[in-house]
Structure 1
Amino acid sequence: MSTLSIDESELIRASISACASSQHSQTPAIPLPAVLVCLTTLPWELQLEIASHLDVRNIILLRQTCHLYRDYFTVDAIDKLFTNQGRVDELRFCCYKCLTIPASRDLVLDKTRGPNQWRSLCFICWRIDHSPSIHDATREAYDIQFSNNRHGHVCLWCGWPTFFNYYHVRCGDIFDATDNFWWCMASLRCTMLAVVSGTIWFHYTGNYQVVIPAMLNFFTSFVVVFLVSLYYFRWGCTTPLRVPIEVMMTLAWIPAVVYAAQDLANNKENPDQYSYLVCTVFVARCFIYFLNLLCEAMLVLGYNPRDFAHPGISERRKLLYVFCSFMVYWGVARYRRFRLKKIKRGTV
C-alpha cells in the first residue's frame, strides 16, 4: 500500500481541523476539500492507514467530526496505535482520561502506571482520582512529576498540583490567616479566663471552694498563653503539654460550679451575678471541648478537609464542605505546621 505524501498529509490535517472548528462555531462551515469528503467512502483499512499518519492532536480533532471516529478512537485504541508505532512519547501532553491537551502542556504523570505507558493526566482528572487525602502523610504522596519533566508537590490546603512549595501562594495566605486567627482566639480566651478568674477570686475571698479553683485557673491561664505562643512562633510543639493543663483547669472548676449552682438554686429571687459568671465560664470551656471533639471525630470518620476544592461539586455542597473544613482546620491547627515539617523530612 502506498504511503501518503507530505502535501496530502498536511491537507488531511488542515481539513480535519477545519471540520472540527466549524462544528463548535456559529459561522458557516468551511468548504472541505474533496479528499475529506470522500474519506469515509474509502475502505476502513485505508481510513485507519490514513489516521495512523496523524499526530494525537489531529486524531482528537478527527474524533470530533463524526460518531464513527469517536466510537473507534477510544483511549485504548489511541494508546495501542501509538504504542505499536513506538510513538508513546507523543502522548505525554494529552490526558489519557479525558483526551484533552492543555495549552500550558502541564500534565501530571500517574504513578500507578509504568514508565513505558501512557500516564499523563490533566489537573482536573488527577485531582478527582489521584489527589492524596489529608490522612496520607507520606512524602511520596505529595511529590509529583509533570509531563514536561518538572517536579512539583500537592498543595496541602486544596489538593491541587503546585510547581513550587507545598502550597499555592493564595493557599499559603489562607494557612497563615487560619493560624493567626487560631492564635488570637486562643490567647484572647486564656486572657479573658485569667481576668474572670481573678475577679471571682477577689469576690469570693474566704470561700475556698471557689477561691482555690479560681487561683489555679488564674495562674495556669498565663502558662497556657505562653505555651500557645511557643507553638505559634514555631519554637516547639507544646500541644501534648498544653492540652492536659487545660483539661485539669476545667476539672478544677467543677467545685466552684457546684457552689454557684447551689447559690443560684437557694437565691432565685436575688441571685448573685458572679454565680452566673462561674457557670458561664464552665459551660464555655465545655462547648470548646465539644467542638474540638467534633473536629477530631470528623477526621476519624475519614472526612477529607480538601473536599471543598473538589471539581464538579454543587455550590450548596461546596459551602457545606467549606464550613466542615474550617471546623476541622480549627480543631487541628495546633499540629498542621508541624505536619508540614514532617512531610518535608519524609516522615509521618
Structure 2
Amino acid sequence: MLSFERREAATAHNASSPRSPPGYELRKWLRSRSKARQSPAQNGPHGATTSGLLSLPVELQFMITSHLDLAETVALRRVCRLYRHVITADIVQAQFSRYGQYDAILQGCCSECLTTPGLDRLILDVTREHDAWRSICFRCWRTQLTPDYQRKHGPLLELANGEYGYICHFCAWPVCGGDGQEGSQELLHAPCRVKRYLATITWFVMAILQVGLGVLALVLAVTQYRKVPTVLIPTCIDFGLSIVALALFIIRTCAHDEQKYTYALAAELMMTVVRIPPVCYTARETVNTPNVTFMSKFALGIFLLNLVFRFVDTVGYTLLYFGYDPRSMFIAGLSLRKKMVYMLCTFVVWCAFIPN
C-alpha cells in the first residue's frame, strides 16, 4: 500500500512505537488470505486459482494498492471484506501523510469510519490537534456525543467546508447552516421542531392534569373527610409540598448556572420523594373508612392516580439527576431493545420536565 519511500518514512517514524508498521499488517493479512484461496477446494477444474485481486501474489497486491488514491482506497475497502479489516484509519493516515503532515485530501474523509459523505457532512473535531486529521461524519460524531464533549464544541460546529452548523436542541444531531456567530438562537431541524412542540404540549397537559388532581384531592379531603384528620392532614401537606415543588421547578428552568441548576434539580427530586408518603397514607386511610360510598371510591381513585404521578416524577427526576440524556434515543445504530428502553426512559423524563 505504501511506496518504498513512504514505507521507509513510516518505519522510521514508528521505530520508537511498539506497534508494527501499517505495511506489515497488510502483508500479513494478504498472505493469510492468499494461502486460504490457493487451497485445492477453491481451485478451478484444471488446478488454476481463482481470478481477482486477491489471487495475485502479496507483493503485487501491495504494489497495486499503494497507487490508489483516497476515493479508490475507500471504494476497495467497501467492496472487499478482507480490505475492510486491513485498511484502517491508521493505514489511511499513514498512506496519505508525509513527514508528520496529513494530506489535505483526508479532510473529506471521516477519520472514524472512513466514509466520504462530502465536506458539508463532516465536522472538524475540536478535541483533536489543529494540524491533525480531525474530520468526522455526523453519524460517528453523534455516537460519541456526551455532555462534556458537547461543551467542548460549544454552540457552533465547524464543518469541513469552512461553514458552521449548530447542535439541534431536540435530537442533538448537527444542523447545517450558520454565520459563525455564537448566539442564543435555538435551531432545530424542521421535523424536530414539530416533535418538540408536541412533547412540550404533552408535558403541559400532564402538568395541568397533576395540578388538577392535587386540587381535586384537596377539595375531596376538605368536603368529604373534614372530620377524618388522617386523610385531611396528609392531603394538605401534599398540596403544600406541591407549591414548593412548583417554585423549585421555576427556579431550575430559569437557572443559567450549571451548579445552581443541579442544586435545584436535587431539591426538586427530594421534594418529589417526600410527597410520596402523604399520598400513600391518604390512600390507605381512604380504604379504611367505615362507610365505603361512591365518593370514597372516587377519592381513592384520585389519590392512587396522584400516587402514580408521584412515582413517575420520581423516576424521571432520578434519571435526569444522574445524567441521563433524553436525546439518547436518537443515537444511530441502536438495537431495537436498547432503543425501546431509551424511548421509555425519555418518555418518563419528559413527564417530569420540559424538554430543552
Question: TM (normalized to structure 2)?
Answer: 0.61
Structure with the greater relative contact order (CA < 8 A, sep ≥ 6): 1 or 2? 1
Asked if the contact 1:197–1:217 (Cα under 8 Å) also holds between the matched residues in 2, the reply is no
- The 5 Å alignment of 1:71-150 reads 73-84=87-98, 88-103=103-118, 105-128=120-143, 130-133=144-147, 138=151, 140=153, 143-150=156-163
Residue 246 to residue 140, structure 1, CA distance change in 2 (3 Å): same
Percent of pairs with identical residues: 23
Secondary structure (helix, strand or coil) at the match of 2:97 reads helix
Deviations, residues 108-166 of structure 1 (Å, cap 9, x unaligned): 122332121111111222222x3124x87736455432111222233333232222545
Give 2:350's aligned residue.
Answer: 329
Number of aligned positions between the proteins: 289
Asked if the contact 1:193–1:217 (Cα under 8 Å) also holds between the matched residues in 2, the reply is no
Point out where structure 2 has 5 or more consecutive residues left out of the alignment: 1-51, 178-185
Structure 1 position 188, deviation (Å) = 2.6
Residue 136 to residue 66, structure 1, CA distance change in 2 (3 Å): closer
Give 2:175's aligned residue.
Answer: 162
Point out where structure 1 has 5 or more consecutive residues left out of the alignment: 1-35, 338-348
Residue 48 to residue 79, structure 1, CA distance change in 2 (3 Å): farther
Give 2:289's aligned residue.
Answer: 263
- The 5 Å alignment of 1:267-282 reads 267=291, 271-282=292-303
Residue 139 to residue 153, structure 1, CA distance change in 2 (3 Å): farther
Asked if the contact 1:191–1:221 (Cα under 8 Å) also holds between the matched residues in 2, the reply is no
The AA in structure 2 aligned to 1:260 is: T
The AA in structure 2 aligned to 1:163 is: C
Asked if the contact 1:95–1:107 (Cα under 8 Å) also holds between the matched residues in 2, the reply is yes
Of 220, 229, 232, the residue aligned with 1:209 is: 229
Asked if the contact 2:272–2:310 (Cα under 8 Å) also holds between the matched residues in 1, the reply is no
For the aligned residues, what is the CA RMSD?
4.8
Asked if the contact 1:96–1:120 (Cα under 8 Å) also holds between the matched residues in 2, the reply is yes
Residue 234 to residue 59, structure 1, CA distance change in 2 (3 Å): same
The AA in structure 1 aligned to 2:167 is: V
Asked if the contact 1:257–1:279 (Cα under 8 Å) also holds between the matched residues in 2, the reply is yes
Structure 1 position 305, deviation (Å) = 2.8
CA distance in 1, matches of 2:127, 2:204: 40
The AA in structure 2 aligned to 1:263 is: T
Residue 72 to residue 260, structure 1, CA distance change in 2 (3 Å): closer
Secondary structure (helix, strand or coil) at the match of 1:263 reads coil
Residue 305 to residue 117, structure 1, CA distance change in 2 (3 Å): same
Of 275, 280, 287, the residue aligned with 2:308 is: 287
The AA in structure 1 aligned to 2:132 is: Q
Out of 310-319 and 93-102, give the one that drifted further.
310-319
Asked if the contact 1:210–1:259 (Cα under 8 Å) also holds between the matched residues in 2, the reply is yes
CA distance in 2, matches of 1:84, 1:131: 31
Residue 239 to residue 191, structure 1, CA distance change in 2 (3 Å): farther
Structure 1 position 78, deviation (Å) = 2.5
CA distance in 2, matches of 1:63, 1:153: 32
- The 5 Å alignment of 1:150-229 reads 150-163=163-176, 165-204=186-225, 207=227, 209=229, 213=233, 216=236
- The 5 Å alignment of 1:295-334 reads 295-299=316-320, 303-331=324-352, 333-334=353-354
Structure 1 position 183, deviation (Å) = 1.2
